[in-house]
Chains A and B, each alone.
Chain A
Amino acid sequence: MKIRAIMINTFREAIRDKVLYSLLFFALLMIGGSILLGRLTIGENIKIIKDMGLASISIFGLLIAIFVGIGLVYKEIDKKTIYTVIAKPVHRYQFLLGKYLGLILTLLVEVAIMSFGLLLLVLSYEGHVELSILKAILLILFELMTITAVAILFSSFSTPILSGLFTLAVYIAGHLSRDLLAFGVESESAMIKYSTAFIYYSLPNLDNFNIKGRVVHEVLVSWEYLSFAMLYGVLYISIILLLSMVIFQKRDFR
């Protein structure tokens, strides 16, 4: 009930923020713009549309997660609105969880709008929509949920600019972490082996969520794989949120 109230309040704040609408506008513009690019490639235009559309959902979702996500937690502390909430019979973990779920709800609505745009486009070109594209969108959503958890973790102790940079760094590194592990395996030095393995397991392996290429090129993505990726996401998010709660529980709101 309390978590739900904070979630709805966070969602309300996000949808009354102008930044969200400008990001959404550009995302839809990009998805629409894929028609033009598709025209340049003979016979491949539907692939371009799917590729650009999914990439747009992913990138703009990321921007929303970073800009809106980090801002929302930091603003509570900076504008001292958190004072009145913590002074009520609300546990700090309930506050953080409410904030996180509010952001997820915002992302869900945003991704739904962008996906609707893309699906409409695909439908008008192909006459039907394949399930695989929905699978790709589902995993994008899990990727965004993971990134939002990371953003919440950083913003529970850092400033918005640093949190933004850290989160972006984790996003990039999270897509390269598999390469890093491969590099460690090849290496002969034990230290490199262990440190690359440590980094690989601490950073989210965001490549797990990336099936865009396979979907565009019509390679089958099994339900087993999908379930594995989602389970991985849920576990990673739980650990990160737990860590954020511990940090948040200990800090003073000066």
Chain B
Amino acid sequence: MIAVKTQGLSKEFRTGFTMKKVSALHNLNLEVEGGDIFGYVGPNGAGKTTTLKILTGLIYPASGNAWILGRDIRDVAIKKDIGFLPEGPYFYDYLTAKEFLYFYGQLFGMRKREIEKKVDELLDLVELRHVKDIQLRRFSKGMLQRIGIAQALINDPKLLLLDEPMSGLDPIGRAKIKEIILRLKEDGKTILFSSHILSDVEMLCDRVGILTQGRLIDVGSLDTLLGSGIKSIEIVTSHIEKDTLREIETVAEKVTLRDEKLVIVVNGEEDKDRVLGIINRNNGRLISLTPGRKTLEEYLVEKVNRGAAL
């Protein structure tokens, strides 16, 4: 089942005193498979938030259509199956965590007992049960992000739309959010999240869509996008004489000195074998050998720069 589908989705905003039209999203054709974690990446202002706002009915598209779980987004009833976490923790800060979640439960027309049970369950999931009677104004950013995820889950949605769920969090906060996202995938939920923290996207996502200047320039699994082949190999050695170093430099892509150890980067298996041969012959000591592939960040920067140059 396709969880999210958009066809020719476009949006323009008018800005400034002259009300000049600026294109925020251009002819977006996107498909997110049910059960996937889909990473929506791109630089600031690429149109990620605009897409999510259209899907949740906060803004209207200038043209194009979108469907969630097979139903048109203009149908308010589809929101029963969606959970949404907007960017930045902006919530009713005069409410306590419990009141806050209770309020959202009511918006789904849930019964009192049903809400109470769900609220307890969610407070456990996001580890905030101990602060359930504290007003949100006293919450840290990480806690707000977690209570935000909890409000998105109150209706047990099939699809979760998370806008920058990890931004501004410390490593522990990020780890917690990642853990929750993975647990939700295990429960069979589809998750579409936007992010510019690419290492998180790499770690979590089944598929990735890359957006720049309102255009979707690439979409696919990480293996397809980055290539499953090895991009480069990093060799760390020590006890290398000057003559040996000169010989290595003729083969290696890059040689640097790090903590009195030599870090050699080579391209491909052949060069690796040649460098290892040189090290062996000259009694160098091999410390480590790490194959590396292109990171999503390198890929994105390359793509965006190419896009900008076009």
Contacts and interface: CB of A to CB of B under 8 A. Distances in A.
Contacts of B108: 88-89
Interface residues of A, number: 25
Chain B interface size, under 10 / 10 to 19 / 20 to 34 / 35 or more? 20 to 34
B76 A80 contact: no
A253 B92 CA distance: 17
A17 B103 CA distance: 19
A253 B58 contact: yes
Interface stretch (B25-33, B35-43, B78-86, B223-231): B78-86
B109 interface: yes
A83 interface: yes
B90 A88 contact: no
Contacts of B94: 12-13, 16-17
Contact of A1 (B58, B91, B106, B161): B106
Contact of A252 (B60, B106, B109, B155): B60
A91 interface: yes
Nearest to A83: B86
A87 B80 contact: no
Nearest to B92: A81
A79 B90 contact: yes
B139 interface: no
A81 B91 contact: yes
A254 B148 CA distance: 19
Contact of A80 (B13, B86, B99): B86
Contacts of B107: 2, 5-6, 85, 88-90
Interface of B: 13, 53, 56-60, 76-77, 79-80, 82, 84, 86, 88, 90-92, 94-95, 99, 103-104, 106-109, 148, 151-152, 155, 161
Given A85-B107, A254-B53, 12 more contacts: A4-B106, A5-B107, A79-B90, A84-B84, A86-B56, A86-B57, A87-B86, A89-B79, A89-B108, A252-B60, A253-B53, A254-B13
21 contacts: A1-B109, A4-B106, A5-B103, A5-B107, A12-B99, A79-B90, A80-B86, A80-B90, A81-B91, A83-B56, A83-B58, A83-B84, A83-B86, A84-B151, A84-B152, A86-B57, A87-B58, A89-B80, A89-B107, A252-B59, A253-B59
